[in-house]
Amino acid sequence: MTKIGLEIHCQLTKLESKLFCSCKADYREFKPNTNICPVCVGLPGSLPRLNKKAIEKATVIAMALNCKTPQKIAFFRKNYFYPDLPKNFQITQLNIYGPTSIGQEGKISVEGKEIQIRRIQLEEDPGRLIYEGSSERTQITLVDYNRAGTPLVEIVTDPDFENPKQVRIFLNILSDLLENLGVSDPSLEGAMRADANVSIEGGAKVEIKNINSFYDLEKALHFELTRQQSLAERKIEIIQETRHWDDKRKITISARSKEEEEDYRYFLEGDIPWVVIELDIISRLKKGMPESISSKRERYIKDFDITSQVADVLSSDKFYSDLFEQAHDQKNAKEIANLITTDLMGFADTKEKRKESKLTAKHLADLANSIIENKITRNSSKNVLQTIVKSGKSVSQLISELDLGHVSDEAELSKIIDEVLKDESMAVEDAKQKPETINYLVGKVMKKTKGKADATLTLNLLKKKLA
């Protein structure tokens, strides 16, 4: 049986400062090695100062993943040498004196299957190595410590996944959840990374590291499972090891035999005292938690009669569900949800386009109301929406500018229909014999009015005139 477990590293990108100093947590805008101080590069004599907000955000993640949160947390030093780790140890958490990491024993449901979250720990991100060319062939490796000390939450699952697809769905759910909590922006480069351990029946556990995108993770898992199965078929032993994902060649390559936990010589971080998390802090954090995606989804379906498909898409996208919340009232909610999911998400899809978009909640409400009040057809609303995103012009201005006014005036429409009936005498005879061909005439009226005619009214008038 295939068993896959995950270790997901997620940066708390919404925090102002790093985990143990006041350097910026968002290091991305800085030139290499300019967002650093004696603490984050571990100069002798520097002392860490724990970021209280990081503990709060990590605790919120733990609660959202249904974890138990301990009353006391402790930090440990994990000792190893690597050029991106200037202190030669990483400050992290370990549950050696009982459950002292930020959360444990959580669970999350993936298409009906429950995935157990073993533990969640808060730790510092190391620096970043930059290779010239590929990591395999490079002559030069550069190191940038701007990232060193960025608050990182590690989420460890049990080996509960049975296939790579489940892993991908889980990561999408997790990424939406973290974004919805307002703790992280998973779309930022390197904000969410995953390592995986993979084993098949009778084989040792192989760890795959270095995977930067969910897409690559799925590919890496497929590759690794095929490799292990092929070894097993040839009766070659699968050894316990760490393998790196080479995203240029799309294969995993042996990196080193896996260290045991005891190789890291963990010991308590003496510079940071144990932290007591009082119950009133927990209840304050719980109260401040945003509505979960699943409860939002249920509410949209129940309160506004939104289809489950639309509710799925809308609730899991924080940007657009926030916009929906600002824009809707009881009457136009369903129309706004449809406008967002069927049209808007199509042309304002990337982060950049969303940022540049000039559309406001008021635009959405006005547009939905115009559709409901028959001032504009659903058909032409797409065009209006697209123009608003670019120009920010008001809905009423665009309806007149683009000449989109809805023809729902009976007298006016009747006149147009009469003209069509005169031109289409053959089709009129057909429609009298075979009523199902009436749609041809509806189409002609639509064409004549450039899609502005009210479809129901057109059909009713046509039927009356042909009777």
Q: Enumerate binding residues for Zn ion (CB under 5 A).
A: 21, 23, 37, 39-40
Q: How far is the CB of 41 from Zn ion (least distance, A)?
A: 7
Question: Closer CB to Zn ion, residue 42 or residue 190?
Answer: 42
Question: Closer CB to Zn ion, residue 23 or residue 58?
Answer: 23
Question: Closer CB to Zn ion, residue 41 or residue 200?
Answer: 41
Q: Which helix (H) or strand (E) holds 332?
A: none
Q: 241 pairs with which residues across the strands?
A: 206
Q: How far apart are CA 317 and CA 350, in angstroms?
A: 12
Question: Closer CB to Zn ion, residue 37 or residue 301?
Answer: 37
Q: How far apart are CA 187 and CA 353, in angstroms?
A: 14
Q: How far is the CB of 24 from Zn ion (least distance, A)?
A: 9
Q: How far is the CB of 141 from Zn ion (least distance, A)?
A: 22
Question: Closer CB to Zn ion, residue 87 or residue 452?
Answer: 87
Distances (CA, A) of 184 to 98, 117, 189, 400, 422: 28, 19, 12, 42, 64
Site of tokens 């924080």: 318
* Helix, strand, coil percent content, the chain, rounded in steps of 5: 45, 20, 40
4: its two tokens: 């896959």
Q: How far is the CB of 151 from Zn ion (least distance, A)?
A: 12
Q: Which helix (H) or strand (E) holds 283?
A: helix 279-288
Q: How far is the CB of 40 from Zn ion (least distance, A)?
A: 3
164: its two tokens: 């790579």
Q: 3-class SS at 269?
A: coil
Q: How far apart are CA 78 and CA 91, in angstroms?
A: 6
Nearest 5 degrees, angle CA 233-CA 236-CA 238?
A: 100
| φ, ψ at 305 (rounded to 5°) | 60, 35
Question: Closer CB to Zn ion, residue 36 or residue 337?
Answer: 36
Question: Closer CB to Zn ion, residue 37 or residue 251?
Answer: 37
225: its two tokens: 């499972």
Q: How far is the CB of 90 from Zn ion (least distance, A)?
A: 15
Q: How far is the CB of 128 from Zn ion (least distance, A)?
A: 15
Contact 334, 304 (CB under 8 A): yes
Q: How far is the CB of 175 from Zn ion (least distance, A)?
A: 27
Question: Closer CB to Zn ion, residue 21 or residue 428?
Answer: 21
Q: How far is the CB of 16 from Zn ion (least distance, A)?
A: 12
For residue 79, which amino acid is it? Answer: N
The residue among 267, 287, 272, 286 whose CA lies nearest residue 52 is: 272
**Burial environment of residue 47 by CB neighbours within 10 A (0 to 12, 13 to 18, 19 or more):** exposed
Contact 466, 428 (CB under 8 A): yes
Distances (CA, A) of 224 to 2, 4, 209, 239: 11, 11, 12, 13
Question: Closer CB to Zn ion, residue 23 or residue 156?
Answer: 23
